[in-house]
Amino acid sequence: MSFVVRKAERQGARLLIQLSGVSGSGKTYTALQMAYGLANKDASKVVLIDTENRRGSLYADIVTDPFLIGDLYAPFSPSRYIEAIREFQAAGVEVLVIDSVSHEWEGTGGCEEIAGSSSNKVIGWANAKAQHKRFMNVLLQSDMHIIACIRAREKIDFTDPKNPRPLGIQPVCEKNFMFEMTAS
């Protein structure tokens, strides 16, 4: 294998951005505004993968020209997300907004269901984690800027049931997801 050695320049890098928040906090709106800017105000280069039953269409008028939408319905397996990402990349999309990545983790057909489909919990989670890692690798190797919207909610630690401990608002995704992002 041959490696290309080059002088470092601040150009050409593709961004992976995670926006997480509770319902109504502005994730989709912010993601589309950022995407529009990253696409040099050319909405035809922006695609929103909509996993929320056409909710993304409610934002059709927030940028000057219409952006493109690809509806993704259940099952929300990592392989379905991978298929969509690769399809949009092949079509020449420059900025991809995924709204929402949370379904890949806990939606119908997502990693939690994949893990639960095995009678052996360890094998089930090993399979789910392997599929999730493939999804993450596709995100990391993509030629597009990708903005991932992630739902968030209050999380409570019930390790000691008599003294539950609030952990604050946490994103609904695999626990290491944010560490792979350029910005969270």
Residue 83: pLDDT above 70? yes
Q: Please tell me the least confidently modeled range out of 74-78, 128-132, 159-163.
A: 159-163
Question: Is 48 within 8 Å of 69 (Cβ atoms)?
Answer: yes
pLDDT of residue 9: 81
Q: Please tell me the least confidently modeled range out of 60-69, 77-86, 107-116, 143-152.
A: 60-69
Which residue in 111, 125, 116 sits closest to 78, CA to CA? 111
**pTM to 2 decimal places:** 0.90
Pairing of strands 165-171, 46-50: unpaired
pLDDT of residue 11: 77
Over the chain, what is the mean pLDDT? 93
Question: Is 56 within 8 Å of 48 (Cβ atoms)?
Answer: yes
C-alpha radius of gyration, the chain, whole number: 18
Average pLDDT over residues 13-29: 93
How far, in Å, CA of 180 to CA of 125, rounded? 20
Residue 40: pLDDT above 90? yes
What percent of the chain clears pLDDT 70, i.e. is strictly above it?
Answer: 99
Residue 1: pLDDT above 70? no
